[in-house]
A and B are shown apart, each in its own frame.
Chain A
Amino acid sequence: MNDHDSSGLTIVGGRPDEERKEPSAISAGLQALLHRLAENPSLARDLVANPEGTLAVEGLTLTPIELAMLHHLDVEDLGQTRAMTRGATRSAMLTKGMPSDVEEETRRRLAAQLELVAPFAGDPDFYMGERTRGIRPLSIYPTPFAVAEALLRTSEDFRTAFLADSQQAILTWSDLPLGDEERQALLSESVRKRLEQVARNIDGLAS
């Protein structure tokens, strides 16, 4: 088996994407504008009605080509910035509070879980299992989505199953027939620390 799995390359069509993951030549003004549009839907209407004036009020500067683009967009186009916000509603609830009808204990437990998961969201290596020898990381630890899903459910059965799955995943990892040296080699330092942290916290939650 080749060490490469083409994960850094294309499948068919497109280019190797290392450069493409780098920030593009988008101005800081446009990046800030995208964020503000995501948080404030009414800004889209103002921008369409009066792009230059609204940008001035917001204290943002776009490049000429970005401004040209803005002149061709309507409220519906600009409203797409909200898609990520809507999709991230569950994640946001982890940090910004949950619906009032979710019981306090559930909130406490699941907020702790969410806090655990947060670092994983930005760690492709962990997700990809590059260093976990094919052990599916999504089994080792639930995705942010799965954790967030748990937030929305008050069922005790669901929470119990959720915790049991997490514990089983840790056990699976621990039971791998690997020598210590090999195990260490497979785990990056950061991943190892996170797994240890996960194990500690799951123990704490279950106790």
Chain B
Amino acid sequence: MHDITLVNMNLLYIVYADRVDRELHVPLGLLYLVSVLEEHGYRVDLRDYQLATGANLFDVEYALAFLEDSAPIVGFSCMANLLPYTLLVVQALKARHPEKTVVLGGTGPTAVERRILQKFDAVDVIVRGEGERTIVDLMDALTAGRGLHSVAGISYRSNGSPVENPPRPRITDLDTLPWPAYHRLDMASYQGYGLVTSRGCPYRCTFCSVAPIWEHQAVLRSVQSVVAEMRHLFETYGVTMFLLQDEYFVSNKVRMLDFCSTLKSAGLPVHWKCFTRINLVDEEMLCAMADAGCVHVRYGVESGSDAVLRQVAKGFTARQASEIIALSAQLFPEVDAFFIWGFPFETMADFYKSVFQMVLFRSWGVRVLPCLLSFLPQTAIYRDYLAGKYGGVLRFRPDLTPEYVATGHETSSAGHIAISPEQQPLFDFVTACPDLFPGFLQWEPETNVQPKLQVLCDLGFYSDMCSASEIASPMS
């Protein structure tokens, strides 16, 4: 008998017109929780929805079968893209098993905790922020039958009303955390092996949904601890490719050079990929990274317009971006450049500057990834929208949304979302709760999204999903 079931609902599940791509990543967040719970003597039942193999993963009945025989306390971790589906599953689970206690965590419920607790009786507790300390306190309280008023870092319902307990102080020494409970997984089943080297980011990019969660404060692990974990993963599981996905992995030059030197000295025959930042790297760092086995760097370029870059507080210029991207393209086999388009303040002139950079970077062999702006609830740009700064309205137009995320990560089918009957409740749910899922909405789709998407399609971006004629008509 387990004390708690932890369910990973974070998926990379990409539906195309002719195929589905899945990519299984080690669920680090939950593995950290498993480690600390096991340290405190709790018996944890870990279930990773990535490993579900049903024909329709987004059928609630299928999820209920996946959750069969779960523990009395069930915790779900999800991001914003799977929040609608997770809530549907939670409702169905609670309807069938009203005795269970349901806990939500992860970035998905962040900033909409109160609204979730107000609207969904099925959700009992929402863990805010880092979960390692909170989950142990929460389990202690639940198993002892104590009230939850003393558990910092949670929101819950008391006498039918949402209660928000004080936040829990951040963990300031990440080296003290036990490593993720890799032993609980069949590691060979996965394709992406991430590693947490830091938590938080001090930058204040207005569209970012991650840095606000950490209150713009970064905490870094020691280089020695990171390399030791890499060694463990290599020696125990044969991992030779690491994904260093932290927003702030490349936080400063001294640390980066130290990491590269330490990793080289370790003599591990491994490679790694990482996110980095245009204004935080220079030639010496990039060379050291390449020499230490980095084979893939990813940059959030966001825009080719300096006016937009200033508006979103990105902290560098378009010219700086092109210089670093050019240098990186010479040093690394793979370079990604992410762009965000569809900002309310992005004029067509601004947009064309971005498009020019996209074209230019692609001509250099860089992978260009344009992404439509998502108004996630914890972002400054969404708050500004609510405050009326931009005017206009957010509306749900899935047919225009190349980054549609309801069923995994994104869905596309010849320019229109193909909504299967099984998925229809999901779409209806999003439509019915725009205040819970603003990340699915688009700002002024006809005048802002549509013409820009047209240009991107005409220039071969999103080429697999749309054509000029198909963008024109709204979905009925």
Chain A positions within 8 Å of B, measured between CB atoms, are 1-2, 4-7, 9-17, 19-21, 23-26, 30-31, 34, 63, 65-66, 68-69, 72-73, 76-77, 79-81, 83-84, 86-88, 91, 121, 124, 127-129, 133-136, 138, 143-146, 149
Contact = CB atoms under 8 A, between A and B. Distances in A.
B458 A65 contact: yes
Given A83-B326, A135-B269, A9 B191 contact: yes
28 contacts: A2-B187, A6-B191, A7-B334, A9-B12, A9-B23, A10-B23, A11-B275, A12-B245, A15-B369, A17-B367, A19-B464, A20-B367, A20-B369, A24-B359, A24-B459, A34-B359, A63-B458, A68-B352, A68-B455, A76-B318, A77-B304, A79-B319, A88-B326, A129-B271, A134-B240, A143-B331, A146-B287, A149-B287
A142 B356 CA distance: 33
Nearest to A129: B271
Given A15-B410, A73-B356, A87-B327, 9 more contacts: A1-B237, A4-B191, A5-B240, A10-B23, A16-B14, A16-B21, A79-B319, A80-B360, A84-B364
A84 B365 CA distance: 11
Contact of B460 (A12, A25, A68, A80): A25
Nearest to A14: B369
Interface residues of B, number: 70
A152 B69 CA distance: 67
A83 B325 contact: yes
B240 A1 contact: yes
B230 interface: no
B470 interface: no
A26 B359 contact: yes
Nearest to A2: B188
Contacts of A2: 187-191
B279 interface: no
A6 to B, nearest CB: 4
B73 interface: no
A35 B12 CA distance: 37
A87 B323 contact: yes
A1 B241 CA distance: 11
